[in-house]
Structure 1
Amino acid sequence: MKRLAVAFLFTAFTSVVDAKTDVIVYGDDSYPPYSYVENGKMTGIYTAVLERIFEKMPNYNVKIKSTPWKRGLSEIEANKIFALFPPYERPKQRPYMEYDMAILDEKLVVVCQQSVLSTPRPNWPDDYIGLTIGKNAGFSIGGDDFNALLKSGKIKVTETKGTPKNLLKLIAGRMDCYTNDALSIQWELKQLKADGKYDGTSVVEGATISSEQGFLGIVTDGQNYPFKNTFKDEYHRILGEMKASGEVDKIVQDYIR
């Protein structure tokens, strides 16, 4: 009888384990510090937040895999994958994904030498007339008003490939300010400080240029994913709780400190 009881308990336990639904979520493999591959493993801020959420979803066995961004968009459009992160909300451009609750706010900001912001410059771009602004080569920044000032020669722009090189130019005083995503700047400054190339205080954040929100985009056509609605409900409940408690903010701060 004891053996039968043990066998029954083992079978029951196995059934509970087997009841978990396997889910694969894909993330952009080249979007540091938010989502990228390092040493063969997905990492980044969005990855860390989602891993924590999925740990709190006992009915699902969720794996995070990497994908080149354009491939991920193509495959979720073709209903080949269930979810992709971190798209911005583009319902007209990308109706094949659903955007219900943002994970994070992403800010495009301008940072400057400390001396440049000795007088506050909260208004973009008018407060930055007469300055030289750095940007990553190939990136479009600033908006229509900025482009008009650039065309008139009232603002100058210098382009350099990559965030670290731009920040080193800013630290060295070879330009007045630099524009990019706020967390990307903070993350790179952290690396430069660790390498002894930044003093930790001479770069100051100025105006916010624009903002976006990153989501876990879930496929609109759920016919291949019968678990979609229950997964979404649980995911959004936990994400909402983590945002309200400050847990998401803590993950972000721990990552960039």
Structure 2
Amino acid sequence: MTVKDGAAGGLYAAILNEAKERLGSSELEILAVPWTRATVLVKNGSAQGLVGSYYKPQDRPWIRHWSEPIFHEEVSIFCRSGIAQPGWIYPDDYKGLLFGNVAGYRAPGDRFFELVAQGQIKLEEAQTTEQNLSKLSLERIDCYVVERVATEILIREKNITNVDNVGTASMEAAYIGYSDKWTGPEADAFIEAMDAVIKTMKKDGTIDRIVSRYPES
């Protein structure tokens, strides 16, 4: 998510605002914060749900319930122009390159982080996608693995012309991950109601229509 005019913006915010209307919940607040901070807020119970989380229970044991999947994200490899060669297989053919990543973001995959641990891929982490794209366009890093739709929107908004989408790393279902600090009848009732609304929004085509508003989605 992004911040627009002081409020959460972007694809997830649009989906959740529609869900909020259907739930009739005036207490539902959507915050757009850096990913690392978001995970800390949900882990310690200061926030109740982590939006856009992938199903990784080993990495996030503090999530007690994974929602109905919101939709499937395409996790893409973005590199500065001329770095990646046609036919490269991710991540092994990218050995020796310097990647950016949002701190705590595991979408690059287990094999990627194995190569990082072995010193065969270099990693430099930042707090936001905007920071990583800036470093990529300034040629301070070589590549960056991240969700495609929101990233391509940022690339167009910032008029970045020297960064290419060179391939797909994975397809991931995106969920709301609910904190294990948030329990009780009211929490369970909200989770059940939100899951039902997400199912309905998928079935009636609402989520597809929201996604289609975003160019090249």
What does residue 16 of structure 1 align with?
Answer: none
Identity %: 21
Find the aligned partners of 1:106 and 1:169 in 2 and give their Cα distance: 23
Report 1:45-60 matches (<5 A): 45-57=11-23, 60=24
Find the aligned partners of 2:176 and 2:134 in 1 and give their Cα distance: 31
What does residue 74 of structure 1 align with?
Answer: 44
How far has the Cα of 1:135 moved from its partner? Answer: 0.6
CA displacement, residues 136-167 of structure 1 (integer Å, 9 cap, x when unaligned): 47557655544554566654x26364534543
Find the aligned partners of 2:14 and 2:174 in 1 and give their Cα distance: 17
TM-score (norm 2): 0.66
Q: Give the alignment partner of residue 71 of structure 2, picking from 104, 115, 119.
A: 104
How far has the Cα of 1:94 moved from its partner? Answer: 2.3
What does residue 204 of structure 1 align with?
Answer: 165
Contact 2:62 2:179 in 1 (8 A): no
SS in 1 for 2:28: strand
Q: CA RMSD in A?
A: 4.0
Show structure 1 runs of 5+ residues with no match: 1-31
Cα distance change of structure 1 residues 176 and 56 upon mapping to structure 2, 3 Å threshold: same
Q: Give the alignment partner of residue 64 of structure 1, picking from 15, 28, 31.
A: 28
What does residue 190 of structure 1 align with?
Answer: 156
How far has the Cα of 1:183 moved from its partner? Answer: 3.9
Cα distance change of structure 1 residues 151 and 244 upon mapping to structure 2, 3 Å threshold: same
How far has the Cα of 1:52 moved from its partner? Answer: 0.8
**Number of aligned residues:** 204
What does residue 159 of structure 1 align with?
Answer: 124
Larger Rg: 1
Show structure 2 runs of 5+ residues with no match: 32-36
Which residue type is aligned with residue 163 of structure 1?
Answer: T
Contact 1:133 1:179 in 2 (8 A): no
What does residue 6 of structure 1 align with?
Answer: none
How far has the Cα of 1:49 moved from its partner? Answer: 0.7
Which residue type is aligned with residue 222 of structure 1?
Answer: G
What does residue 100 of structure 2 align with?
Answer: 135
